[in-house]
């Protein structure tokens, strides 16, 4: 099962206690996957999903919120790879009340109109905003596998609704954005911390932990890689320096002999020649009296300068 599906399964288990939140979540379902179908007895509300747990959740929200028992119709799809479709249907006798109370319909002076934005009267409290977000994500959301990328989005058929949903997420101080898609628009989050925050608020605690685990593993890996790269770079630098020093000393030896050097430099030259790969600090400990790393470095630099002078035909 994909990370997205797992998260949805978890969210379908979230227990909602307050009526205000139940109504907000149901409203998000109606706005996200609801459609009106006109029949002989009037208009019915259809909420359509491929996820059985989502259908069950909508069913129980209708019951506990409005004491209405919707009908659930299953559309079997036999084509390979196609999932069955579940319709939760609110009959005409209850449709108008529920549509008004969940803010899809609004009463105006000219009669009842369709409201194309998130109904603000349902999301005044933060508990209800979180419930609305949960419904919106369960209705048309997707979440990419954190091992691959960080991306959470909710599909919206209309730009006006997408913008109002985006504003709702931004109200929670999360960096949501709207983008056009081939079919409609999406409200999305790309920031891993923001996604973790949303998962926590809508009640997907298992998904949150899983995502945090991936984030930590990724960080550790990145840091380890960085450290490894850093070690290699340092090693190369050291190796380059010591090769240069050994070459310089060998040149001096061939040209004038190490005994021509002042005593302290001659000693350093011999020690370096015998220990071409030894770090400076350890070289310092081989000299008596011992030298600091920077003193060793200083003497080796001197030897390189002498070699350069000799190469240019100069004297010691
Ligand atoms: Zn609430």
Query: pLDDT digits over 58-81, tens only?
Result: 999 999 999 999 999 999 888 878
Q: Are 79 and 179 in the same domain?
A: yes
DSSP SS3 for 82: coil
CA of 123 to the centre of ligand 1 (A): 8
CA of 111 to the centre of ligand 1 (A): 29
Q: Are 228 and 127 in the same domain?
A: no
| pLDDT value, residue 221 | 78
CA of 25 to the centre of ligand 1 (A): 9
CA of 103 to the centre of ligand 1 (A): 15
| pLDDT value, residue 137 | 98
Overall domain count for the chain: 2
| pLDDT value, residue 227 | 76
CA of 244 to the centre of ligand 1 (A): 73
Fill in the DSSP letter of residue 120: G
**Predicted model pTM:** 0.71
Instruction: Give the CATH number of the domain where residue 177 resides.
Output: 3.10.28.10
Q: How far apart are CA 228 and CA 240, in angstroms?
A: 18
Q: Among 151, 168, 203, give the residue marking a domain's end.
A: 203
Residue 126: both structure tokens together? 């933060």
Q: Are 197 and 239 in the same domain?
A: no
* Position 277 confidence tier, pLDDT thresholds 50, 70, 90: confident
- Give the other-Cβ count within 10 Å of 238's Cβ: 13
Q: Could you tell me if residue 316 is inside a domain?
A: no
CA of 133 to the centre of ligand 1 (A): 12
Strand (E) or helix (H) holding 45: strand 42-49
Q: Are 226 and 173 in the same domain?
A: no
Domain containing residue 189: 3-203
Q: Could you tell me if residue 270 is inside a domain?
A: yes
CA of 291 to the centre of ligand 1 (A): 73
> In this structure, are residues 127 and 133 in contact, taking their beta carbons and an 8 Å threshold?
no
CA of 164 to the centre of ligand 1 (A): 19
Q: How far apart are CA 195 and CA 144, in angstroms?
A: 11
CA of 122 to the centre of ligand 1 (A): 8
- pLDDT tens, position by position, 162-205: 999 999 999 989 999 999 998 899 999 999 999 999 999 999 99
Is pLDDT of 40 > 90? no
Residue 116: both structure tokens together? 């194309």
């Amino acid at each position: 099962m994909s990370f997205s599906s797992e998260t949805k399964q978890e969210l379908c288990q979230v227990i909602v206690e307050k009526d205000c939140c139940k109504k907000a979540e149901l409203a998000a379902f109606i706005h996200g996957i609801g459609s009106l179908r006109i029949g002989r007895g009037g208009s019915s509300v259809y909420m359509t999903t491929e996820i059985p747990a989502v259908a069950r959740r909508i069913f129980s929200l209708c019951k506990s919120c409005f004491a209405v028992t919707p009908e659930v119709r299953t559309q079997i799809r036999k084509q390979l790879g196609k999932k069955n479709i579940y319709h939760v249907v609110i009959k005409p006798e209850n449709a108008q009340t529920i549509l008004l109370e969940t803010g899809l319909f609004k009463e105006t002076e000219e009669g009842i109109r369709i409201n194309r934005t998130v109904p603000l009267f349902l999301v005044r409290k933060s508990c209800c905003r979180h419930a609305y977000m949960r419904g919106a994500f369960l209705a048309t959301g997707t979440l990419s596998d954190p091992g691959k990328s960080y991306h959470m989005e909710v599909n919206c058929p209309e730009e006006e609704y997408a913008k109002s949903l985006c504003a709702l997420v931004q109200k929670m101080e999360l960096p949501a954005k709207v983008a056009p898609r081939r079919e409609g628009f999406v409200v999305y989050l790309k920031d891993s911390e923001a996604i973790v925050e949303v998962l926590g608020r809508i009640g997907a605690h298992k998904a949150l932990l899983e995502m945090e685990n991936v984030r930590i593993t990724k960080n550790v890996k990145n840091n380890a890689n960085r450290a490894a790269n850093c070690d290699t770079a340092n090693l190369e630098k050291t190796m380059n320096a010591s090769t240069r020093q050994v070459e310089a000393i060998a040149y001096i030896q061939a040209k004038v002999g190490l005994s021509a050097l002042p005593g302290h430099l001659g000693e350093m030259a011999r020690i370096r020649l015998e220990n071409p790969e030894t770090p400076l600090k350890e070289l310092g400990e081989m000299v008596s009296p011992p030298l600091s790393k920077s003193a060793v470095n200083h003497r080796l630099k001197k030897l390189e300068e002498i070699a350069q002078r000799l190469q240019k035909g100069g004297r010691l």
